[in-house]
Amino acid sequence: MIQSLIAETVGRAVALPGKTIRFVLSEALTYLTEEIDLTGVLLTGVDLNRIVATLDVNAVIEKIDLNMLLETVDLNALLETVDLNAVLDSVDLPRLLARLDLDALLADLDLDALLDRVDVDALLDGVDISSMVRGASTTVTTEMITDVRGGSERADDAVENLVGRMLRRKTRDE
């Protein structure tokens, strides 16, 4: 029993300095973190440029999960800040059109499907066929009258020349 009492007393005596040291360190760290501006101390005491110069930026970038990062980006909000008119004003349209392969574009175009979407009745409802026929008729009639008048004038001239020769009249040119 004396041996166990001695062992217990020695164990407490040895543990006491360890507990004391832990307590003192804990209090010191609490004081340092609560009372001292460690950020200010680090910024004034540490050469951040020297630390950054030693970083392997490519290795850091490789560890970044871009998909996760992009999921947090609100693209609609970002696009609202873009002035599309300014972007479009800077586009060289002739150069852009020269790069297009119109043959390939038209080869992929399904004209039948496109024409199926056209409402022909609505298209014809907007056309005034009567005025088109009237306009075409007026043009044809005007051309016919002009042709008939020209033919009549030529026939009058031919008859006048014939009568003038028969009556041996002098022509206007003489």
pLDDT tops 70 at residue 163:
yes
Q: E strand or H helix at 124, and its extent?
A: helix 120-125
Three-class SS of residue 99?
helix
In contact, 171 and 164? CB cutoff 8 Å: yes
Q: E strand or H helix at 35, and its extent?
A: helix 2-35
DSSP code of 119? -
* CA distance linking residue 12 with residue 15, whole number of Å: 5
pLDDT digits (tens, 9 = 90+) for 106-153: 888 888 888 888 888 887 777 777 777 777 778 778 888 888 888 888
* CA distance linking residue 162 with residue 150, whole number of Å: 18
Alpha carbon of residue 40 to chain centroid: 46
In contact, 38 and 32? CB cutoff 8 Å: yes
pLDDT digits (tens, 9 = 90+) for 34-62: 777 777 877 888 888 888 889 898 888 88
* CA distance linking residue 143 with residue 24, whole number of Å: 118
Six-digit token string for 144:
């016919």
- How high does pLDDT run on average in the chain? 81
pLDDT digits (tens, 9 = 90+) for 165-174: 888 777 666 5
* CA distance linking residue 174 with residue 18, whole number of Å: 149
